Amino acid sequence: MPTPTEARLEALTTELKRAGIAYRELSSMADTGLAHDHVWVHRHNGDDWVARLPKQSQMNLPPEENLAYQAACYERSSPGGHTPKLYDTLPPSEALPRGGLLVEAIRGRLAKLPEDLDAIADALASLHSQSLPNAAARPPLLAPENPWLAMVNEVRQQANWLADAQLASKITQRIKQELDLLPTRLSDATPTLISFDTHPGNFLIREDGRAVLVDLEKCRYGLPGIDLAHTSLYTSTTWDLNSQAVLSLGEVINFYRRWQAAMEKSPDTDTLVACRRATWLWSLTWCAKWRAQHLNAKDAQQRGEDWSAELTDPAVIDHVRNRVEHYLSLPIIDHVHSELQCLQASL
């Protein structure tokens, strides 16, 4: 019986042949995430690709819609020059029930913090400064009329999982107190194209120092402060096993100011801090959701969202479990709360 890696390579071989795509060799890449398997596609001309094979849809979309959404993420972000190019898609099939994307292979090292924060700020500015398409051209990406209200509603909906996460009552209470601190409206809420998944582990640094955001599947037209937060929050900078760092307040402020210097216009401090709190609470409520769902059996029909631990290497699941428990602890909740207060006074 083939191993999961062997089965994945065999399935991809079948679909590449069906699509008439020539290549020299396939190499499985390490299983490091909860949403995709990755295979390096070595091509004869050296212009290599990476096959992104979804394990699930974090947007809770069926396979065809999930591929279309991810393709749009790569297409919309590529003009900024800090994301991989999209070359092709492989439709869902018996061999690959969720299909796949073929994107530019980025040669580079993992981001290091705080050294690469300037490069990451520049990459985000390149994404956020792109011209907005007219409203009719924004789908399939999410483009809520009120992006702040949409973010708050998403966080509150995800917070419903607190009841099923089997957390200590004092932790649930503290998270709900933080939820109550979210403002109902912002004075400065101009949308841009955002990634919504910019934790430092999703960046590679090229030899020329350029940061490239390689993981794009949740882009939308929302508030850029969400990306800035997701890059620099404690719950993001300590997430990835290979790029962990605890940033000082000064390093966070310098990161925000670097981004502001690269933008024509920046949201005000109240907006940036509100986005930071909302992004942190999105991460905490996601942790509660994962805690409640990860022991479920995987979805045999392979449709939509699926956080089953069966889909991912056990070592990765152990790491995620460790991070989830850490972030949902009172000392860490208090730590991030204090940083938000200091940032409000200093930014």
> Helix and strand tally (H, E) in the chain?
11, 10
Return the amino acid letter for 224. Answer: P
Neighbouring residues of 210: CB distance < 8 A, sequence distance ≥ 6: 81, 82, 119, 122, 123
What are the CA-CA distances from residue 129 to residues 77, 259, 260 (Å)? 11, 11, 11
Q: Where are the alpha helices (DSSP H) in 19-168?
A: 63-77, 117-128, 147-158
Neighbouring residues of 7: CB distance < 8 A, sequence distance ≥ 6: none
pLDDT band for 137, please (50, 70, 90 cuts).
Answer: very high
143 has a pLDDT exceeding 80: yes
131 has a pLDDT exceeding 80: yes
pLDDT band for 34, please (50, 70, 90 cuts).
Answer: confident
Give the tens place of pLDDT for each residue, 279-338.
999 999 999 999 999 989 998 888 888 888 889 989 989 999 999 999 999 999 999 999
- Could you tell me the two tokens for 291? 């805690």
Q: What share of the chain is helix, strand, coil (3-state, %, to 5)?
A: 50, 10, 40
What pLDDT is stored for residue 304 in this prediction?
Answer: 83
42 has a pLDDT exceeding 80: yes
- Could you tell me the two tokens for 81? 């020059």
The number of C-alpha atoms within 13 Å of 292 and in the hemisphere containing its C-beta is 16
Q: What is the mean pLDDT of residues 190-217?
A: 96
Cβ-in-10-Å burial (0-12, 13-18, 19+) of 28 comes to: middle
178 has a pLDDT exceeding 80: yes
Average pLDDT, the chain: 95
Q: Which domains does the chain have, with CATH numbers?
A: 4-104 (3.30.200.20), 109-346 (3.90.1200.10)
Report for 2-6, 147-151, 187-191, 311-315: range of highest mean pLDDT: 147-151
Q: Could you tell me which residue, 240 or 329, shows the higher pLDDT?
A: 329
Give the tens place of pLDDT for each residue, 304-321.
888 888 899 899 899 999
What are the CA-CA distances from residue 6 to residues 2, 10, 28, 273, 281 (Å)? 6, 6, 9, 46, 39
Q: Is 194 left (phi over 0), alpha (psi -120 to 50) or beta?
A: beta
CA dist., res. 342 & res. 234, Å (int):
14
241 has a pLDDT exceeding 80: no
Which pTM does this prediction carry? 0.95
What pLDDT is stored for residue 3 in this prediction?
Answer: 83
CA dist., res. 200 & res. 93, Å (int):
33
CA dist., res. 304 & res. 224, Å (int):
27
The number of C-alpha atoms within 13 Å of 196 and in the hemisphere containing its C-beta is 24
pLDDT band for 78, please (50, 70, 90 cuts).
Answer: very high
What pLDDT is stored for residue 237 in this prediction?
Answer: 96
Residue 37 phi, psi (nearest 5): -95, 150
Neighbouring residues of 272: CB distance < 8 A, sequence distance ≥ 6: 225, 228, 229, 256, 266, 347
CA dist., res. 342 & res. 337, Å (int):
9
